[in-house]
Amino acid sequence: MTSFMGKVLRVDLGAGTAESVEIPAQIYEAVLAGKGLEAWYLYNHIPAGADPLGPENILAFAAGALCGTGAFLTGRWSAACKSPLTGGWGDANCGGLFAPAIKQCGYDAIFISGIAEKPVYLFCDGKTAELHDASPYWGLDATEAEKALHRELDGVCRKKPCVACIGPAGEKLSLISGVCNEGGRIAARSGVGAVMGSKKLKAVVLAGARPLPCHDPDRVKALSRELGHKLLKMTLPTGLGVFIGAGGAMMGHLPNIPLDGAMTAYMFREWGTQANTSLAITSGDGPIRNWGGTPRDVRLMEAVYNPEHINRIETAKYHCYSCPLGCGGRLNIRGRKHVSFDETHKPEYETIEAFGPLLMNWSLDSIFQLNELLNRAGMDTISAGNTVAWAIECFDHGILTPAQTDGLYLTWGNTEAILKLVEKMIAREGFGDALADGVKRASERFGGKEYAMHIGGQEPGMHDARNDPQLGIHFVAEPAPGKHTVGMNIEYGAMSLCDICSWAPPARLHAKEKDFEDTEEMALISKANACYTMLVDGAGGCYYGQMMGVHTWKLVDWLNAAEGWDYDGDHYMEIGERIQTLRQLFNVKQGVDPRSFKLPKRMLGEPPLPHGPLKGVTLEQHRAQVSSHWRAFGWDDKTGVPLPETVKRLGIDKLTEAEP
Amino acid sequence: MRVKILPPHGCDRGALDERSWAELPAGSTVRDALRLVRCSPLKAKLLLVSVNGERASLESELREGDVVGFFFPVSGG
């Protein structure tokens, strides 16, 4: 017995059919589940040239291999499709309870093609899979739609169903929209929400209750207990958050060292990802003033975004499925300035940075409001923040005028104008309509392309490649460009991948300048980061488990116990390599030239910043680093296309023959 | 026994191999590991010295395969 359900649900919205399809065991051995299964299936089944918003595109929802086995921090679910934002591979992932719900229906993944005639939702309880009328829910925000579906199905199902749905942004085909669950937690990236909206699919509702298999549950649970005991003891002295900004300023000047990744858990447990904001402002990691500013432009802003301010209004912490860490939380925001809601999820770092320092916005309260507005709308805060930043900078330079912005004075830090603009983007109203498809489309229409921060159409996550040049490699070499969760040098130093993988270089004490050089070692490090991230995604693991390092979050041991395998780290890293290569092949098949993914000049240091921790930094060897990364993967180092011998070595040619 | 030591800035890594592992006699403590990398006990306490992710005292006894680490503000998201 393995942890896989062995089947997927295939739904055709045009024909109104749903069928269960068995997946050969060799596929799971090759790519696990989660993003691996999605990569294999979408590569085989989406025809070249398919319209991302047309019936041929397939929207996938998948759970990872370890989901439901008892392994900790493995409750992520993944949505994937051909991205309408980039034209190539698109995916996004999210926590909550939706991942085990997929498997409890008897499937590892759900693949949805076609377009429904009228709004529908997919209901599956493990025995039946049916399409129901979703007209009453169309137009509701994601949180209200979820509540309404729960009300309708109350008493109908044996258990409370799990709902993944789109909000108005997805319905209106905003190319920066995502898919939500659990009151606005969002799989945000790549425009997956627009694809769901194009299919007139409001929601996927899962109410299965099947037991989830595992080869050796006792061993899996023993490993989890070991981690759980540690995490319970990980507490920091109260009030320490006030010093994080100073820590960031110090980090900006220190050489990189190998770290104990386990210590990252202390920060996530205490504050969640929002702890990174003040650190990012002072260290150079977080972008300021549309990536063109420095900490001097927002002097002392780290005090506004001190994580203790947010902890003080936290009413409850929450955890994803199988997670003892609990980085999420609910905040009481009633009565605060700019705020019309009673509560919101604790904003993630990405959201705070994108609507705080990036826009020079000093109002933490407004970020609570924006967080709730965008979560309910189902719009990506990273892309939305980057797009608003572009609009403000264009306004600053006279490229946009009040006549074009519906009278909004889009000046830096103008909280009222930012709020109004985001409301317009969500409603696709007036000037907001032009911004609802992201910064690339907006700049093509109005000009100001030099201020449009995107890579291949997708806006970058809130981490600066000038601070960590490995981010720059992944921003462009990743098949879903602009994603910040594939690898960083500091994270590599925390994971100790060299202790499970024979070819992964050891992390060393080194000057930061070394990270900017094109070396074989750097190429192997970036490859190792990407392979391990793909492995984690195939397992359904959490990025924050990954960051704890291989000695604390024992992914290889869990996989062997859950599947009854006895593979070493090298074997598992090859699975990651296979998944990443399949995603790259998807782009090649869809006609996306890997060379077309380029860092914006500003992120290359053109022109260099005049002061601050990134003063004078340029990424002169960036393109050479990307070529070396491709070469390390066995892809053509000039074109980024996987070489035939690599495809053969990874057995991908045989996988395509196993098509169900 | 082999122990992985990930010392903070300013320590001597000369006794560690390239993957940051070191050989220590059985029965060695955190204090012994700190001595090996010339890390002062005060610095170790300030930086919340840990063994396998759990905060540890200087007298905590080490076992084969243990990882000795220190708090450093690393986050993400």
Give the ipTM of the model, two decimals please: 0.92
CB A548 within 8 A of CB A49: no
Read off the tokens for A236: 């920091």
Q: For a pLDDT cut of 70, what percent of chain A falls above it?
A: 99
CB A378 within 8 A of CB A142: yes
Summarize the confidence of residues A486-503 as an average pLDDT.
95
Summarize the confidence of residues A485-503 as an average pLDDT.
95
Q: In whole angstroms, what is the distance from residue A39 CA to residue A105 CA?
A: 21
- Nearest chain A residue to B68, by CA: A260
**Residue B76: which of A276, A507, A551 has the nearest Cβ?**
A276
- Residue A57's φ and ψ, nearest 5 degrees, are -65, 145
| Spans of all domains in chain A | 7-206, 218-451, 469-657
Preceding amide of A594 cis, omega within 30: no
Other beta carbons within 10 angstroms of residue A47's beta carbon come to: 10
Smallest CA–CA distance, residue B18 to chain A, in Å, is 6
- Residue A539's H or E segment, with its range, is helix A520-539
State the pLDDT at residue A149: 97
Say how many residues make up chain A: 660
B2-69: CATH superfamily: Beta-grasp domain (3.10.20.30)
Residue located via tokens 């946009």: A400
Query: Is B76 in Cβ contact with A260 (below 8 Å)?
Result: no
**Residue B9: which of A233, A254, A272 has the nearest Cβ?**
A254
User: Which amino acid is present at A600?
Assistant: P
Q: In whole angstroms, what is the distance from residue A172 CA to residue A428 CA?
A: 8
Please give the model's pTM, rounded to 2 decimal places: 0.97
Q: What is the DSSP letter of A183?
A: T
Class of the CATH-defined domain A7-206: alpha beta
pLDDT above 80 for A658: no
| Spans of all domains in chain B | 2-69
Summarize the confidence of residues B19-37 as an average pLDDT.
96
- Nearest chain B residue to A548, by CA: B53
State the pLDDT at residue A35: 98
Chain A contact for B57 (CB, 8 A cutoff): no
Most B CBs within 10 A among A186, A251, A260, hence the mutation to make, goes to A260
Continuous H helices in A172-290: 192-198, 217-233, 244-251, 264-270, 276-283
pLDDT above 90 for A123: yes
**Residue B53: which of A255, A547, A552 has the nearest Cβ?**
A552
CA distances (Å), origin A70, targets A220, A268, A576: 6, 21, 22
> What strands lie across the sheet with A314-318, from one edge to the other?
A314-318, A328-332, A343-345
pLDDT above 90 for B77: no
Q: Which residue has the higher pLDDT, A497 or A241?
A: A497
pLDDT digits (tens, 9 = 90+) for A553-563: 999 999 999 99
From chain B, the residues in CB contact with A274 under 8 A are 77
State the pLDDT at residue B5: 96
pLDDT above 80 for A252: no
Q: Which of A129-143, A225-239, A477-491, A590-604 has the lowest mean pLDDT?
A: A225-239
CB A313 within 8 A of CB A333: yes
Contacts of A556 (CB under 8 A, 6+ apart): A500, A550, A567, A568, A569, A572
Q: Which of A81-85, A333-337, A464-468, B48-52 has the lowest mean pLDDT?
A: B48-52
Residue located via tokens 């989901």: A67
Residue located via tokens 């002097």: A299
Instruction: Tell me the CATH architecture of domain A218-451.
Output: Orthogonal Bundle (1.10)
pLDDT digits (tens, 9 = 90+) for A565-574: 999 999 999 9
Residue located via tokens 């937690």: A185
Question: HEC string of A506-533?
Answer: CCCCECHHHHHCCCHHHHHHHHHHHHHH
Residue located via tokens 């590991």: B33
Which listed CATH number (3.30.465.10, 1.10.599.10, 1.20.1440.120, 3.40.1000.10) goes with A469-657? 1.10.599.10
From chain B, the residues in CB contact with A506 under 8 A are 18-20
3-state helix, strand, coil in chain B (%, to 5): 15, 20, 60
Query: Is A247 in Cβ contact with B77 (below 8 Å)?
Result: no
Most A CBs within 10 A among B46, B55, B75, hence the mutation to make, goes to B75
Q: In whole angstroms, what is the distance from residue A177 CA to residue A142 CA?
A: 12
pLDDT above 70 for B75: no
State the pLDDT at residue B76: 65
Q: In whole angstroms, what is the distance from residue A506 CA to residue A267 CA?
A: 25
pLDDT above 80 for A28: yes
Query: Is B6 in Cβ contact with A258 (below 8 Å)?
Result: yes
Q: Which residues pair with A181 in a beta bridge?
A: A164, A185
CB A82 within 8 A of CB A51: no
State the pLDDT at residue A155: 85
Strands B2-5 and B67-69: parallel
Mean pLDDT of chain A: 96
pLDDT digits (tens, 9 = 90+) for A255-305: 889 999 988 888 899 999 999 999 999 999 999 999 999 999 999 999 999
CB A413 within 8 A of CB A359: yes
CA distances (Å), origin A368, targets A290, A333, A348: 20, 7, 10
Most B CBs within 10 A among A94, A229, A263, A277, hence the mutation to make, goes to A263
pLDDT above 70 for A659: no
Q: How confident is the model at residue B46 (pLDDT cuts 50, 70, 90)?
A: confident
Q: How confident is the model at residue A156 (pLDDT cuts 50, 70, 90)?
A: confident
